[in-house]
Amino acid sequence: RIESDRTCYILGEVWKGAAKGCDNAIYLAVGTGIGAGILLDGRVIHGANDIVGATGWMALQVPYHEDYIPCGCWEYYASGDGIGKQIRRALRCERNYTGVLAGKKIDEVTSYDVFAAYKEGDLLATKVLNQAIELWGMGAANLVSLFNPEKVIFGGGVFGPASQFIPRIYNEACKWGQPISMQDVVFCASEVQGEAALLGAAYLALR
C-alpha cells in the first residue's frame, strides 16, 4: 500500500543492506516472477504508471512464443516458476531419464527440486540451471548497459539457493554488457534477504 514491491526492495537495501552509500543500484528480485527496483542518481525511478522494473518481460529469446504472454520471456525461463516449467518440460521430453527426479510426479516438480537435484549432480537439473544462469547474465547485462549501476543486488526466493551462481552470472554478463560499466559494477546477493521489502516500506514510512 505504501509503494510497489520493487521500490521497497531497493530502498530496503539502500537503508540497511547492500546498496548503502550507493546512488545507482538495481535490486533484481527473482522469485515467482522477476522484477527490478532501480535507484538512479539517488532517486528511485517509477515511470508513467509505476511499472518501471517489470523486467520479467525482457525479450531475451527468439522467436517469440505465445507462452510468454502471461509472464514475459525472461520469467518464462528464469524465474522460480519458470525453472519449474523448464524442468517439467525437460522431464517430459527425456523419456529415458533415470536421474534424481525420476521418482517424482512430473507435475509436482518445482524449482526447489531442481536446486536439490543440482546439488546431487543431476544432469537435467544442471542443464536447466545453466540456461537460467545464462539468461540471468544476459538480463543483468542489459540493465547494466542501460543504467550503469554501482551494484546489481540479487534477491528474492531463488537467491537463496542461486546465490552460489552470482560469479558465473557476472562472467556471463561480461560477454554481453557495456565493457566499462561491467568493469565497474559489483554483482552481489541481498544483505537483508526476505526483509528487503519490509525494510523499504518502513524506510518510506519513517521518511
Looking at residue 95, what is its pLDDT? Answer: 83
Judged against a pLDDT cut of 90, whether residue 84 lies above it is answered with yes
Q: What is the dihedral of CA 17, 138, 174, 146, to 10 degrees?
A: -70
Instruction: Assign residue 101 a region (left: φ > 0; alpha: ψ between -120 and 50; beta: otherwise).
Output: alpha
Neighbour-count burial of 66, counting CB atoms closer than 10 A to its CB (0-12 exposed, 13-18 middle, 19+ buried) = exposed
Judged against a pLDDT cut of 90, whether residue 193 lies above it is answered with no
Judged against a pLDDT cut of 90, whether residue 1 lies above it is answered with no
Judged against a pLDDT cut of 90, whether residue 195 lies above it is answered with yes
Instruction: Report how far residue 151's alpha carbon sits from residue 164's, in angstroms, rounded to the nearest whole number.
Output: 17
Contact (Cβ atoms closer than 8 angstroms) between residue 162 and residue 37? no
- pTM, 2 dp: 0.95
**Between 95 and 160, where is the model more confident?**
160
* pLDDT tens per residue across span 140-183: 999 999 999 999 999 999 999 999 999 999 999 999 999 999 99
Q: Which amino acid is it at 58?
A: M
Judged against a pLDDT cut of 90, whether residue 197 lies above it is answered with yes
Instruction: Report how far residue 195's alpha carbon sits from residue 154's, in angstroms, rounded to the nearest whole number.
Output: 13
Instruction: Report how far residue 80's alpha carbon sits from residue 69's, in angstroms, rounded to the nearest whole number.
Output: 17
The 10 Å CB-count burial string (b at 16+, else e) for 21-33 is ebebbbbbbbbbb
Find the mean pLDDT for residues 82-102.
94
Judged against a pLDDT cut of 90, whether residue 52 lies above it is answered with yes
* Cα 130–chain centre separation: 14
